[in-house]
């Protein structure tokens, strides 16, 4: 992957209960800026979303937000972005973010972050996209999820080659570097012939 220009970051609209999460949101912004990349994210002004956007803007980077109209109306949209795209629904938001972005990173977050990560992993597995996906594993936050992925493989619900889709690191710069070397997993068919 030589064209990782726009990095989509999924993360919480809350900041969590440990300052380390805010620290790493800022660190992620620094790493993106150091690589001369742009941020694509959910357009919010609160939580980790707001922190990473604010930090990248402070550093002179480009930040593109994508927000559904109903969330913008609740006044959680960021007013100072390089570009804000307003869409009609959460489904349109994910589609727009996917089309804009060259790679995806999930930081700590709640249901929304988990749902966005799961959907983008599914799209990659199905071959709908061929883009790097990473987990920024701050403070071992994603360890239970990683164990779940391994259990999916052990129990036969996830192919080992598809387990390799996701890059995992606790350092933002190292994660971006490993994602830059990503080689898409291409399988002839994502379902076994005996599955119906």
| pLDDT tens digits, one per residue of 92-122 | 999 999 999 999 999 999 999 999 999 999 9
Residue matched to tokens 């390799």: 164
In this structure, are strands 83-87 and 133-136 parallel, antiparallel, or unpaired? unpaired
Domain boundaries, the chain: 6-180
Residue 100 near residue 81, CB atoms below 8 Å: no
Residue 47's region, left for phi above 0, alpha for psi from -120 to 50, else beta, is left
Residue 145 near residue 135, CB atoms below 8 Å: yes
Q: What is the pLDDT of residues 24-75, one digit of tens each?
A: 999 999 999 999 999 999 999 999 999 999 999 999 999 999 999 998 877 6
pLDDT of residue 193: 47
Tokens of 194: 């005996």
pTM above the 0.85 mark? yes
pLDDT of residue 2: 57
| CATH pick for 6-180 out of 3.10.620.30, 3.30.830.10, 1.10.1760.20, 3.40.50.450 | 3.40.50.450
């Amino acid at each position: 992957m030589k064209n990782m220009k726009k990095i989509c970051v999924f993360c919480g609209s809350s900041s969590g209960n440990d300052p380390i999460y805010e620290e790493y949101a800022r660190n992620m912004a620094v790493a993106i800026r150091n690589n001369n990349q742009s941020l694509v994210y959910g357009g919010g002004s609160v939580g980790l979303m707001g922190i990473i956007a604010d930090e990248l803007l402070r550093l002179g980077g480009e930040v593109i937000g994508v927000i559904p109209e109903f969330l913008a109306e609740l006044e959680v949209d960021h007013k100072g972005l390089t570009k804000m795209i307003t869409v009609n629904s959460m489904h349109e938001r994910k589609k727009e973010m996917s089309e804009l972005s060259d790679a995806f990173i999930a930081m700590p977050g709640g249901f929304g972050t988990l749902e966005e990560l799961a959907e983008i992993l599914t799209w990659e597995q199905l071959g709908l996209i061929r883009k790097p996906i990473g987990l920024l594993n701050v403070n071992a936050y994603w360890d239970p999820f990683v164990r779940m992925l391994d259990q999916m493989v052990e129990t036969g619900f996830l192919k080992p080659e598809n387990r390799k889709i996701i890059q995992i690191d606790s350092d933002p710069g190292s994660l971006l570097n490993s994602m830059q070397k990503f080689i898409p997993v291409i399988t002839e068919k994502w379902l076994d012939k005996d599955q119906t």
